[in-house]
């Protein structure tokens, strides 16, 4: 096992394997030992598949750019034959698949060694990861009393805790970027349809959801996105073509950009002083790097209407998934099948007509046009990722049955930025540039639709200007990195 495991990102570990300095088996053993050491405290890694991982190594790993690197799959999406999934729910516990998703095949083809899945809130509809199916909340390695976020909370906690340098996630309303912010990681949401959904889904949440990654370095996300980018067979639409690769983009100098600084919510409400200080600190850094930064927010974009439409679309998607599962089981919904918020989402979906649903899609498409108009004048919109520091465990739990109130009155004020760019389809990222009272505070950057390479390159510039890879959570009672 490696004593200096923490000093390498995924690309660095792959280089050691390629040079014969460490074996894939030794890396897997290290990741499994880390899991045993820290998972009791953070409850992030589930559905262990050690046998499948060892079989992949024994059968001969593909000679890909990440050959031999241990990896984790979110317990939602990235469907794969050898990796059962709970979807964060007792109803879906131990779901198996008869074929791999395109996303999984591309990751496996790069030589990665998945060995387990990571926790998620039930069906991915929360910003905290506390699903009942996992027997308790997932905790933030920076402070075990705080949430790592959601819905890719387990992935973020596992990476921050040093189990793996990178993990799979997904983002339908901030579900990569919010956990990245809470756990001091880099999280990138690509332009709509940049990454494959099939064959198990045509699109996620009317095109608002997309796969992604939680990483400690920008280059890991760049490479993982290069590996997976492009439509799968029969995809209903595709993202605009890239000019090159993300790995090429992060080595190109970024020309001066016009950056809009928003230190309120997108609708003008005040945020906590900590997050306001964080975004002003980032603005000063960007100005020092040669970019033009000025105060502005997309006031012409109807963010409240967008969020209401987002809430209705997700309710309908949740209800459809549950109904499909129950049809396969041949029975009605039982009292203990799903949690309160999910039950509330199903009830809310029953009030939404087909015409209402189409109107919701029209609303998010209009929002994308409104945002595109704002980005005629700016290359980047700069905000915090969240309106406040990581929330306490339990504050955003899924027990409440008032689904609309949960989303609009609890989650949206806490996370008022991220879902905007799921609705518009634009690329957006959370960058770990700021810490306060021992907690990471993410900085959110969004770019024009299709301008993924510009955004990734800017994030790489920020990483060079203010490196964060060395920042690791402290040891705490019941939690150790060794």
CATH of the domain at 162: 3.90.1300.10
Domain for residue 90, yes or no? yes
| 166-182 average pLDDT score | 98
Q: Which of 89, 101, 151, 424 is catalytic?
A: 151
pLDDT attached to residue 475: 74
The reply to whether 151 belongs to the active site is yes
Secondary structure, 3-state, the chain: CCCCHHHCCHHHHHHHHHCCCCCHHHHHHHHHHHHHHHHHHHCCEECCCHHHHHHHHHHCCCCCCCCCCEEEEECCCCCECCECECCCCCCCCCECCCCCCHHHHHHHHCCCEEEEEECCCHHHCCCCCCCHHHCCCCCECCECCECCCCCCHHHHHHHHCCCCCEEEEEECCCCCHHHHHHHCCEEEECCCCCCCCCCCCCCECCCCEEEEEEECCHHHHHHHHHHHCCCCCCCCCCCCCCCCCHHHHCCCCCCCCEEEECCCCCCCCCCCHHHHHHHHHHHHHHHHCCCEEEECCCCCCCHHHHHHHHHHHHHHHHHHHHHHHHHHHCCCCCCCCCCHHHHHHHHHHCCCCHHHHHHHHHHHHHHHHHHHHHCCCCCEEEEECCCCCCCECCCCCCCCCCHHHHHHHHHHHHCCCHHHHHHHCCCEEEEEEEEECCEEEEEEEEECCCCHHHHHHHHHHHHHHCCCCCCCCCCECCECCC
Assess whether pLDDT exceeds 70 at residue 482: no
Domain for residue 476, yes or no? no
Domain for residue 70, yes or no? yes
The count of domains in the chain is 1
Average confidence score pLDDT of the chain = 97
Assess whether pLDDT exceeds 70 at residue 480: no
The reply to whether 170 belongs to the active site is no
Domain for residue 470, yes or no? no
Q: Which of 170, 175, 424, 430 is catalytic?
A: 175
pLDDT in tens, 456-467: 999 999 999 999
Domain for residue 115, yes or no? yes
Domain for residue 480, yes or no? no
Domain for residue 402, yes or no? yes
Share of the chain above pLDDT 70, in %: 99
pLDDT in tens, 387-428: 999 999 999 999 999 999 999 999 999 999 999 999 999 999
Domain for residue 477, yes or no? no
Q: Provide the domain limits for residue 351.
A: 5-465
The reply to whether 101 belongs to the active site is no
Q: Which of 74, 89, 101, 424 is catalytic?
A: 74
């Amino acid at each position: 096992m490696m004593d200096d495991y923490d000093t390498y990102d995924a690309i660095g570990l792959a280089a050691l394997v390629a040079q014969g300095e460490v074996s894939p088996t030794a890396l897997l053993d290290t990741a499994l030992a880390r899991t045993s050491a820290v998972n009791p405290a953070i409850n992030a890694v589930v559905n262990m598949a050690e046998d499948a991982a060892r079989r992949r190594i024994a059968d001969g790993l593909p000679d890909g750019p990440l050959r031999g690197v241990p990896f984790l799959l979110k317990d939602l999406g990235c469907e794969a034959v050898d990796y059962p999934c709970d979807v964060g729910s007792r109803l879906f516990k131990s779901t198996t698949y008869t074929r791999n998703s395109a996303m999984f095949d591309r990751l496996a083809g790069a030589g990665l060694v998945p060995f387990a899945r990571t926790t998620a809130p039930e069906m991915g509809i929360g910003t905290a990861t506390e699903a009942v199916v996992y027997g308790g909340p997932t905790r933030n390695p920076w402070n075990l009393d705080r949430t790592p976020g959601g819905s890719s909370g387990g992935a973020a906690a596992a990476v921050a805790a040093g189990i793996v340098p990178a993990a799979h996630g997904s983002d339908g309303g901030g579900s990569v970027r919010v956990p990245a912010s809470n756990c001091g990681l880099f999280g990138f949401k690509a332009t709509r349809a940049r990454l494959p959904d099939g064959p198990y889904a045509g699109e996620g949440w009317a095109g608002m959801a997309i796969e992604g990654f939680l990483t400690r370095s920008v280059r890991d996300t760049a490479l993982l996105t290069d590996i997976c980018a492009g439509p799968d067979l029969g995809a209903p639409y595709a993202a605009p073509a890239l000019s090159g690769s993300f790995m090429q983009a992060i080595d190109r100098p970024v020309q001066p950009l016009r950056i809009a600084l928003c230190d309120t919510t997108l609708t003008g409400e005040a945020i906590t002083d900590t997050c306001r200080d964080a975004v002003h600190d980032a603005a000063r850094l960007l100005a020092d790097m040669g970019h033009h930064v000025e105060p502005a927010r997309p006031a012409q974009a109807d963010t409240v209407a967008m969020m209401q439409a987002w809430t209705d679309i997700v309710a309908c998607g949740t209800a459809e998934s549950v109904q499909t599962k129950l049809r396969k089981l041949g029975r009605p919904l039982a009292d203990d099948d799903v949690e309160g918020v999910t039950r509330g989402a199903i009830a809310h979906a029953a009030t939404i007509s087909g015409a209402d649903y189409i109107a919701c899609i029209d609303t998010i498409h209009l929002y994308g046009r409104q945002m595109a108009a704002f980005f005629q004048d700016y290359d980047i919109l700069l905000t915090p990722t969240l309106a406040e520091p990581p929330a306490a465990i339990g504050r955003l739990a899924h027990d409440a049955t008032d689904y609309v109130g949960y989303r609009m009155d609890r989650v949206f004020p806490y996370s008022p930025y991220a879902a905007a760019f799921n609705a518009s389809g634009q690329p957006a990222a959370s960058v770990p540039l700021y810490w306060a009272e021992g907690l990471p505070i993410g900085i959110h950057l969004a770019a024009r639709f299709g301008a993924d390479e510009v955004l990734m390159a800017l994030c790489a510039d920020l990483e060079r200007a203010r490196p964060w890879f060395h920042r690791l959570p402290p040891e705490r009672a019941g939690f150790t990195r060794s």
